[in-house]
Amino acid sequence: MALLNPLATQLPSQLPRGLIRWVALLVMAGIVHSKLVQAADLSNLSQLHLVIASKGEPSYWQLKPDGSATKQPLPVDASAPLGSLWKLWVYAYLADGGYAADIGHTEAPYICQGNNTEEIYCCSNKGEQVERDAALAKSCGLYFNPARLNIDPAQWRNYWQARYIPDALRELDQVKPEQSIPLRQLLPALAQLPAQHQARQALLAVMLGPKGPLYAEQLGSRLRVKTWSWRTAQSVPIAGFAGWLADGTPLWAQAEGTSAQVLQRYAQALDALVPNPAPAAHIASCVLVNMFAAYPISQVKTAQQQPAESGLLSGQYEVIFQNGNRLMINSNETLRLDTSNGQPHITAQLTQEDYVARVLEREAAPEPMEAAKALSIVARTYLWQNAAATPNLTGSGECLSIDDSSKTQRVSPNPASRKALQIAYWTADLISQGMPVRYHLDQPGSNRLVWQIAVKQAQQGAKFTDILNHALPQNDLASAQQTIRFCQPLAQAQTWLQQQLPKWRAVLTAEPGFQPPPLPAICQLQSGNPYNEVARNRIFARGFYSLQQRLDIAHEYLHLAFADYPSGQDETYIEQLARRLLLGQETTHD
C-alpha cells in the first residue's frame, strides 16, 4: 500500500506548540502497532484506508465496500503521495492574502485557451474563465500552477516560516503530486491550514458534481474534501481524498482506483462511519428570528409565575398572548426578551442549523429521514431567498433576519431535538438553487414541496434528491456559500430543438416505444461527453451550431423519448435514428 513508506520519525522542526501532543499520539500509535503494512502489499488497496483526526486524536480505519470497518493504530511511518492535494497549500497562500502581500495584487482568473488537455479540469470552452474557489473544487491545476502565478520561492518560504506546513513543502519546487508526505505531518497541516474555512466552503462543490449530487445523496454535506489520485511504484492507480468534516476535523483516505471510483465504492461505508458533527460557526451562520410575529405578547412569566425580566431567557417560561392564548416554552439562552417599550417582544438568535432544525420540528417532523432531509434543504433555501441582513446582536458581522410566522416559516421556540439537529447538520449549507421555493402540508403547487407527498415518497424508498427533483424540477442542489448553477441554459439550442420536433414527429411516432417528453431544458456542458437526465428532463450539450452538436442534442433527446422502452438503452439504435432525423436536412449548413 502506497500509504506506508519508511521515512524518518523525528518531529518536524517547525511544529507549533499546540500540535506537539497530537504528533506524540501518532508516534505512540506507531510504536504500539509493530506490524506495519508495506508499500508493495497491493492487496490492502482493496480496502479504504481512512484516518479521522477528531479532537487531535487520529483514528485509523480500514473499510470494505460492504460497510465493515476495522480500527487499528496508525503506523508511525504512514505516508502518502500528495497527488492533487498540493493545490490546497497554493490555495491557502492565495486565499489568506500571502500572495497579494508579496506580489502586490490578487491573482487573475484562469482563462482557457483551448490548446491544453489539462483544461478539461478547468472549463469547457475556449475563452471561459475559472475563479479560485471553483478551480479548487474542479482540481484545476493550471490555475494553481506556481509558474502561472509567478510565485517567488523565497516569498513562499517566508510566508510558511510562521505557519505549519509539511517539511517537504516548505520549498516551492517540492510542491508537486509525486511528493510523499508523512500522515503525521499531513493531518496537523490540514488542521492548521490558513483560510481553512474558505477551502471547506469551496470544496462542498465536490459533493455536488455537475452530473448530479451522487456523493451528497449518500453523505450529505459532511465531507469538505479535495480529491486526489496518483499511482504506486507498480503503476497501480490509487486515489482518495483529504480535507475536513464540516466542523473542521481533518481526515484523509486512500484506496485503489480513481477518486470518483473510491467515493462511489465506499460511500455506504463512509456514511455509516464518518461522524455528523455540528458545522463550525462562521460570520454568516446566525439567524435572528422575530418570534411570534403574528401574535402580540401580553406578558412573559417565569416558572414561578413572576414577570420575566428583559435579557436572555434560560429555563421554562409561560408566554401569554394578547388574544388570551398561553404557551409554555423552554429557552437555552437563545431567546431574548425585550420589554423596553412596554410591549414584550421575544427574539431568537440561532445558528442556521438550529434554525433549520426548529423549523423542521415546527412545520413537519424529523422522520421519515429522507423527507426530513428534503424539507430541511427547502427550509434553508427559503431562509436564504427571503431573509434580510441585520446586525448581529451579540457580536460583529450580520445575521439573516426573518419572522416566525405562517407567512414565512414557523420556528419552534424550544430547543430542537437531537434527531432534528442531526438532519440539519447532515444537510448543512445545502440549498435548492434556481426558482423560488415553497412548501406546504398537503396542497401542491409550482416549485412547492408537499410534506405529505414527500413522506409517501420516502416510505417508498425515494432519496431526498428524488423528492427534491420531483417537487422542484427547475432547481439544482447547490452550496449556499458558493452558488453555482449547474444548468446554464442554452436557450438557442432549446429553441432549435422545439422547431425540429414537429419535423421529426412522423418518423418518431412510427417507432415502437416513442413517448414524447415535455420540451427538455438544454444546459451548457461543463466537461466530458453530452448526457441526459431523465428524472430532470434535461440535456447537457456543448452547443448547437455544428452538425455534430445538433446530432448530440437529437441523440440525447431520443434517450429521453424512449426512456421507458428497451431501445432507449440501445446506443446504436439511438445514434442511427438521430442521423435519420438530421442527415440531408442540415448538412449543407456546415
pLDDT in tens, 65-86: 988 999 988 888 889 999 999 9
Contact (CB, 8 A) for 186 and 161:
no
The pTM of the full predicted model, rounded to 2 decimals, is 0.78
- Residue 8 pLDDT level (bands cut at 50, 70, 90): very low
At residue 389, φ and ψ (nearest 5 deg) are: -75, 140
What pLDDT, on the 0 to 100 scale, is given for residue 482?
A: 67
Nearest residue to 19 (alpha-carbon basis) of 175, 189, 151: 189
Rounded to whole angstroms, the Cα distance separating 105 from 110 reads 15
Which grid cell is 276?
Answer: 455528523
What pLDDT, on the 0 to 100 scale, is given for residue 484?
A: 53
Residues near 531 by beta carbon (within 8 Å), at least 6 away in sequence: 211, 525, 539, 540, 556
What pLDDT, on the 0 to 100 scale, is given for residue 39?
A: 35
Contact (CB, 8 A) for 255 and 240:
yes
Bridge partners of 313, per DSSP, are 335
What pLDDT, on the 0 to 100 scale, is given for residue 73?
A: 87
Distance of alpha carbon 150 from its chain centroid, rounded?
31
Helix pair 86-95, 196-203: axis angle to 10 deg: 120
pLDDT at 557 over 80: yes
Rounded average pLDDT over 254-260: 92
pLDDT at 244 over 60: yes
Nearest residue to 176 (alpha-carbon basis) of 242, 79, 85, 80: 85
Rounded average pLDDT over 330-338: 95
Residues near 76 by beta carbon (within 8 Å), at least 6 away in sequence: 9, 26, 27, 29, 30, 31, 33, 184
Nearest residue to 89 (alpha-carbon basis) of 136, 138, 20, 23: 136
Which grid cell is 416?
Answer: 430542537
Rounded average pLDDT over 416-426: 97
- Residue 28 pLDDT level (bands cut at 50, 70, 90): very low
Rounded average pLDDT over 35-44: 38
Rounded to whole angstroms, the Cα distance separating 451 from 441 reads 5
pLDDT at 312 over 80: yes
Query: What are the pLDDT digits (tens) for 143-198?
Result: 999 999 999 999 999 999 999 999 999 999 999 999 999 999 999 999 999 999 99
The secondary element (H helix, E strand) that includes residue 180 is strand 180-182
The CB-based long-range contact list for 315-322 (8 Å cut-off, 24+ gap) reads 319/292, 319/346, 319/413, 321/292, 321/295, 321/296, 321/297, 322/295, 322/296, 322/297, 322/298
**Phi-psi map region of 417: left, alpha, beta (phi>0 left; psi -120 to 50 alpha):** beta
At residue 395, φ and ψ (nearest 5 deg) are: -175, -165
| Residue 367, SS3 per DSSP | coil
Residues near 395 by beta carbon (within 8 Å), at least 6 away in sequence: none
pLDDT at 392 over 90: no
Contact (CB, 8 A) for 172 and 151:
yes
What pLDDT, on the 0 to 100 scale, is given for residue 126?
A: 81
Rounded average pLDDT over 393-416: 89
Rounded average pLDDT over 331-348: 93
Which grid cell is 288?
Answer: 435572528
Query: What are the pLDDT digits (tens) for 183-239?
Result: 999 999 999 999 999 999 999 999 987 655 678 999 999 999 999 999 988 889 999
